[in-house]
Amino acid sequence: MKTNIEKVNITLSGRVSVLKDIKESDVKVSFDVSNAKEGENIFNISKSNIQIPRGVQIDDIKPSSVNIDVDRVIEKKLKTTVRLDRQLLGNYEVKSWAPDYVTVEGPKRFWEKKTIIETVPINDELKHVEETVTVSLDTEGLQVNKVKPDTVKVILRKQDAKKPIGIDKKKRTK
């Protein structure tokens, strides 16, 4: 859900002793969007939408309406991919991970064309030839309500530091 404004300016009047203690967080504007349709909806801002402390009155409201863009929430199955931190690239390889797919819930416009979701880069200090780590999915900056499950179990294997060089031995005949 998106809106065209972030703040509503409300002018209050009342006794100075009450007004001086009012904080911005004491005044709330809310809407019942349960009957809103997908797409753009215009809501008028009236006194009934505003919660104010006792002992004050509303004199003015600007703007008098707000546009709220409602997007349908969908659930989508996405393939998981594993990201390694630069320090692990070339030293470790991903042997396997699970689950292969997770279910994401979020706005349709954001998720309908996405097919994958990545893990946060694995940057653990690994000490063994093979290690299992549990890593979170990278949801930072994504419009996500829920991810099920929200972690991936990854098995990493240390790559060989030295690769054998093939030597061509030919038989000598006398």
Dump pLDDT digits (tens) for 86-113: 888 888 999 999 999 999 999 998 999 9
pLDDT for 126 equals 83
Element (H, E) at 111: helix 108-111
- Fold classification of 73-158 is RNA Polymerase Alpha Subunit; Chain A, domain 2 (2.170.120)
72 CB-contact burial (10 Å; exposed 0-12 / middle 13-18 / buried 19+): exposed
Contact 136, 119 (CB under 8 A): yes
For the chain, domain boundaries: 2-70, 73-158
pLDDT for 1 equals 63
Alpha-carbon distance of 76 to 102, in angstroms, equals 8
Whole-prediction pTM: 0.59
